[in-house]
Amino acid sequence: MSIAAAIDGEVVAGVIAAPALGEVYAADLTGVTVNGVPAAPRRRERELDSLVVSTFPRDLDLETVGDNALAASGRLVHAYGAVRTLGSGALGLAMVATGRADATFDLHTNAWDVAAGAFMVRLGGGRYHGCEDGVVDDDPRTSYQRPAYWSTAADVDHPTLRDLVTELAT
């Protein structure tokens, strides 16, 4: 479950619940917590040292981009130290915001699934890039409304994710 509160389109608070893990990720303008304990992202300088979590590739990805999804999955495995598939984009963003993963992305999402997580990532100094038709949107008021995104735990460039999302989100 993921819930965000926005004022004039800008997210100011969010909660992501992961009942199966017994965890609640929460954020407001004062910071991010996991079960009430302050949390922060970690910083990995290289993709090869990073853990990527996502929902990719799933059936929708295979339907929309075909074999390019499988090739992109191979690119991820070569570029990153570890790639894990989760069933939730919101949980992936929460994990990035709290230092349990270094990056996440999705090609098919909804604003209500990512608004809270995008806020959490940015609050901790990370990046959230929305993408639509190959065009990147970094505005906190609109980027979570784009159907594709990639997000990183720190102000570190992840060229493989940037290229993959901008190429396939068309």
Range(s) of the domain holding residue 134? 2-168
Tokens found for residue 130: 């929305």
For residue 52, CA distances in Å to 46, 63, 88, 143 come to 12, 22, 13, 20
Per residue in 103-145, pLDDT (tens digit) is 999 999 999 999 999 999 999 889 999 999 999 999 999 999 9
130 three-state secondary structure:
strand
Per residue in 24-80, pLDDT (tens digit) is 999 999 999 999 999 999 888 899 999 999 999 999 999 999 999 999 999 999 999
- Provide the domain count of the chain: 1
Phi, psi of 28 (to 5 degrees): -140, -175
Q: Give me the CATH number covering residue 124.
A: 3.40.190.80
